[in-house]
Amino acid sequence: MTTHLTDENFEKEINGTDKLVLVDFYADWCGPCKTLGPILEKIAEEMKDSLVLLKANVDNTPQNAGKFGVEKIPTIVLFKGGKVISGFVGLVPEQAIKEWIKNASENPTTNIDEIIERYDNYAKSNGFRLNPNRKVVEGIVNGLLANEKKHGKRYCPCRRVTGNAEEDSKIICPCIFHKDELEKDGHCFCNLYVK
């Protein structure tokens, strides 16, 4: 059975188990969320001995959606011991999600702080800054690391990896689009960098 989160029960549910916790930030009006939901439920059932699925309707959990930097849905966040270990945004195939969970749970000890410091230094040297929301940055970095494990490169987790090496080289973080997006929108597509 899937538990539905509110801002009031969020922390208690995230910290209330020894298992991995998969939080699905969604909305009833979101088409991709409706497609992804049953996939996550199937995975959670198959992995019920090691994984708990929690659903967070962003309309009912505005504080926690903000806390974890949810700007696009569906956003999926994986917790271990109450801490974020990885995340992704958008509709992802079932097998890719299973591999992502396996990789993230087996390798949660990557030194995120060192990676974040490198991205922060890059931002400063180019006249912009890293997103001030640490949870957003950690989620993006975990997505980059998941892509590195799966595809061999730190592809932007908010963009589609095509399998065409020449095309995909454009989305290795920092991607070739980020400076134009910062100029136009005040942030890059995935919100790692902001003005």
CB 152 within 8 A of CB 171: no
The rounded distance, in Å, linking the Cα atoms of 58 and 134 is 19
Q: How many CB atoms lie within 10 A of CB 64?
A: 22
Active site positions, annotated: 30, 33
Sole residue written with tokens 């700007």: 71
Q: Where are the beta strands (DSSP E) in the chain?
A: 3-4, 20-26, 51-57, 75-80, 83-89, 129-130, 193-194
